[in-house]
Chains A and B, each alone.
Chain A
Amino acid sequence: MSDKFSEYASPDALVTTDWVAEHLDDPKIRIVESNEDVLLYDTGHVPNAVHIDWRRDLNDQTVRDYVDPEGFAAMCRRNGISPDTTVIFYGDKSNWWACYAYWVFQLFSHTNAKVMDGGRDKWVAENKELSKKIPKPDPADYPVPAERDDATIRAFQAQTLAHCKGSKPLVDVRSPGEFKGEVTHMPEYPQEGVLRGGHIPGARHCPWARAANEDGTFKSAADLRAIYADELGLGEDDDVIVYCRIGERSSHTWFVLTRLLGYSHVRNYDGSWTEWGNMVGNPIEKNV
């Protein structure tokens, strides 16, 4: 284990690119690529990695929600994932969607999961092998989970509103322009249909990217504590809700707070700004 990882609250939540390179054929693990760029996996991926797409595989195809327990089990089976499989997530955008997929797996209590530090960009930057061969894993046995745990790590609009009214810690991880309400889209992205700009009143602002180094790896535990504990004043036992636009950037921050810093009660409001900024009557603060 690297010295950097040993300083984290859950050192085994991360693996290095070198570790992954040494375990490409390990039958006990399944490497999973999750990206924003919908065709990136097809251009070449970590050998033996399967592709789990957030929209196709993790979301319900009709209702804005995640797959149900039956859908999750079916997705795991077809990707050769059993409850005992260690799932290693990585992807583009400094692991936004890898952390999102990791978080969805936690909704179904698949705790045997890790994220590859630095994600796809680091793997490519190190000139490690890429393959276009699509693996065809033998279908695995995955019993349907008893439930999707929407209570422990997920927050809904009503709970977030109660949090806002109760002045409990909310962390907005979007860009400064989005937080201030100057723009209603993410920089470099198309408008995703939000009618109002701004942030949830009382939310503290800490863009997700502050937790990442230039190469996409996570910052050290000491650097992260300086941001979230010292600067934002978040206590390890605080009841925290994080949000962004659709829940992917906040999954990254959720991973940092829970797995790297050991915060015990953090929920991801995945409805995020695309729900909050469209809902009639929701309180909004701007230019603060």
Chain B
Amino acid sequence: MPYPGQLNEIVALLEHLPDDEKRGVLISYAENAGKCEPAEGGKYDIEDVRKDEECTDTVGIFLNVDDENKCHFNVSLGPKVQTLTKAMTSILCKGLNGVTPQEILDVPSDFVPRIVGAELVRLRSQTVYYVLTRMKSAVKVFLNRLRAG
């Protein structure tokens, strides 16, 4: 599978689970989204906190890139964010931890229906893609700043 880091393992685990078990795992990920919150007073290379039109509440992306060019994300979520978005936040923070900026930019979004299941991906739940988009956006800003010196 073309996914970097632990994301491969997460996709492999989830995509073959029966729907009810898949829901259970997604709920568990959603309930652990709070663990992705940034540390109080923590310092980050990129801090991007905003409320976009396409998401139901504020989402903050906090990115650190270490000396080995590995990315580490924290994400803050407003209380109105939908359950699937919370689950995706946990999955992406864990799955993409320690991968390079370029690998983040290259992550295809086709893993989403594979792990969430076709029934749960609807027009009204397209924000499952939103957190990945925001992470890529933070990485782009980081790389642009790096290039600008």
Contacts and interface: CB of A to CB of B under 8 A. Distances in A.
Given A56-B119, A193-B123, A39 B53 contact: no
A199 B34 CA distance: 41
Interface string B26-52: 110011000000000000000000000
A187 B55 CA distance: 9
A55 interface: yes
Interface in A172-229: 183, 185, 187-193
A56 B19 CA distance: 14
A43 B53 contact: no
A189 B54 contact: yes
- Among A185, A187, A189, the most chain B Cβ lie within 10 Å of the Cβ of A189
B126 interface: yes
- Among A36, A37, A38, A42, the most chain B Cβ lie within 10 Å of the Cβ of A38
Interface residues of B, number: 23
Contacts of B24: 42
Ordered nearest first, which 6 A-B pairs have the shortest CB separation? A39-B83, A190-B126, A37-B82, A188-B56, A190-B54, A192-B123
A40 interface: yes
Interface in A124-165: none
Contacts of A190: 54, 123-124, 126-127
Given A189-B124, A190-B127, A193-B123, A40 B83 contact: yes
A39 B123 contact: no
A183 B54 CA distance: 12
Contacts of B104: none
18 contacts: A37-B82, A37-B83, A38-B82, A38-B84, A38-B122, A39-B84, A40-B83, A43-B27, A43-B83, A55-B122, A185-B54, A187-B53, A188-B53, A188-B55, A188-B56, A190-B123, A191-B54, A192-B123
B87 interface: yes
Nearest to B57: A188
A193 to B, nearest CB: 7
A190 B54 CA distance: 5
Contacts of A38: 82-84, 119-120, 122, 125
Given A43-B30, A188-B57, 5 more contacts: A37-B84, A55-B122, A189-B53, A190-B124, A192-B124
Nearest to B121: A38
Interface of A: 36-40, 42-43, 55-56, 183, 185, 187-193
Contacts of B82: 36-40
B23 interface: yes
Interface secondary structure of A, over-half rule: loop
B23 A42 contact: yes
Interface in B73-99: 82-84, 87
A245 B20 CA distance: 31
A245 to B, nearest CB: 10
Contact of A39 (B55, B56, B120, B126): B120
Nearest to A40: B83
A183 to B, nearest CB: 8
A75 B127 CA distance: 29
A167 B123 CA distance: 33
B42 to A, nearest CB: 28
Contacts of B84: 37-39
Interface in B110-124: 119-120, 122-124
